[in-house]
Copies of this chain bind each other. A is one copy, B any other.
Amino acid sequence: MQRDYVTRAIRLALEEDIGTGDVTSAVTVPAGARASGHFLAKSPGVVSGLDVAAATFREVDPRVAFIALVRDGDRVVPGDLIARVAGEARSLLAAERVALNFLQRLSGVATATARYAEAVTGTGARVIDTRKTTPGMRLMEKAAVRHGGGHNHRFGLSDGILIKDNHLAAIGGPDRVARAVAAARAGAPHTLRVEVEVTSLDELEQALAAGADVVLLDNMAVDQMAEAVRRTRGRAILEASGGITLETIRRIAETGVDLISVGALTHSAPSLDISLELTLETGDATGE
């Protein structure tokens, strides 16, 4: 479940970071001192992970106030305020780094996705993600992809059928695509579409003839993809995949493929630069 999943991820991250306690704050910041601050964008991008950041502070100290000033999916430019926090200074300092680590990474994914999604604007193609996600953060990264304007491929091995090169190798023979698709149609639950990876137009024909619902065109040249679209005539959904970059994605989209999957959305997106600036709230410590 989503809530449990996020909670567990946050606890792991806090455990790693806090260990047996924040020694520095314990010896330099008075117990009860209060502070407040804001998260500030330092690069342009798309925000994702506000809920995770908020939950990180709550996990450390339920009395911390976290007020989002933008929504997941919103664009920010340098200088924009993203959220405010207020509470006991020691709590803010203990949660700060982990909250930023989540927020920066997820906003990085959303920002990268937005660049790819913009590049295909006006074509019918959707930018989709892959399973090349950060271990332990898949659901959060999949949400970040949506915040960036992308769509999700399957979440894992149990909610989608995708027959890849390695499965085809396990079947073997010149008609392996046809036989694999047939096997999947016979054996799989009726709730799942059957997708198969092909590397040539011949294999595409096999896949279509065997009744594939979706065909992944693996590392095809652009004109080959265009031909694939023509031959398919709407009989299956087509997904372009393999080494797609911001430079190439527009031309691929214009071939008429339905989906373009980009591993780099999650495996190589740099973090978005966001900082947290705290101010001590003077006079409050005594009132505690």
User: Could you tell me which A residues sit within 8 Å of B by CB distance?
Assistant: 1-4, 8-30, 33, 35, 37, 59-60, 89, 92-94, 96-98, 100-102, 104-105, 108, 128, 131-139, 142, 151-164, 166-167, 169-172, 180, 183-184, 186-193, 195, 213-214, 237, 239, 258-259, 264, 267-268, 270-271, 277-280, 282
Pair A136/B137 contact, Cβ less than 8 Å = yes
Q: Which residue of B lies closest to A181 (CB)?
A: B28
Closest beta carbon of chain B to A13's beta carbon, Å: 4
* A52 and chain B: residue at smallest CB distance: B135
Chain B residues in 8 Å Cβ range of A4 = 11, 14-15
Name A281's closest neighbour in chain B (CB-CB). B170
Of B22, B105, B267, which is within 8 A of A101 by CB?
A: B267
On chain B, the residues within 8 Å of A105 by CB distance are 134-135, 267
Known: A24-B163, A33-B170, A170-B30. A17 touches B195 (CB 8 A): no
A158-B159, A172-B280, A191-B153 are contacts. A101–B132 as well, Cβ < 8 Å? yes
| Residues of the B chain whose Cβ atoms lie less than 8 Å from the Cβ of A239 | 190
Q: List 17 A-B contacts (CB under 8 A).
A: A1-B59, A9-B135, A13-B136, A16-B135, A19-B20, A19-B158, A21-B155, A23-B192, A28-B171, A37-B166, A104-B267, A135-B137, A159-B160, A160-B189, A172-B282, A191-B195, A193-B193
From A179, which residue of chain B is reached at the shortest CB distance? B28
Taken together as a complex, chains A and B put the C-alpha atoms of A21 and B16 apart, in Å, by 12
Which residues of chain B have C-beta atoms less than 8 A from A128's C-beta? 190
**Cβ of A12: which chain B residues have Cβ within 8 Å of it?**
8, 12, 135-136
5 new A-B contacts at CB < 8 Å, known A19-B155, A25-B167:
A9-B135, A16-B155, A23-B192, A172-B280, A267-B271
| Contact yes or no, B163 A16, CB < 8 A | no
Q: Within the complex, which residue of B20, B33, B214, B270 is in contact with A267, where a contact is CB–CB below 8 Å?
A: B270
Select which of B1, B136, B186, B277 is within 8 A of A60 by beta carbon.
B1
Q: How far is the CA of A264 from the CA of B188 in the complex (A)?
A: 22
Q: Shortest CB–CB separation between residue A99 and chain B, in angstroms?
A: 10
> Do residues A98 and B135 form an inter-chain contact, with CB atoms below 8 A?
yes
- Do B139 and A20 have beta carbons less than 8 Å apart? yes
Bound CA–CA A186/B26 (angstroms):
12
Q: How far is the CB of A262 from chain B (nearest CB, A)?
A: 13
Contacting residues, chain B, for A160 (C-beta < 8 A)? 23-24, 159, 189, 191-192
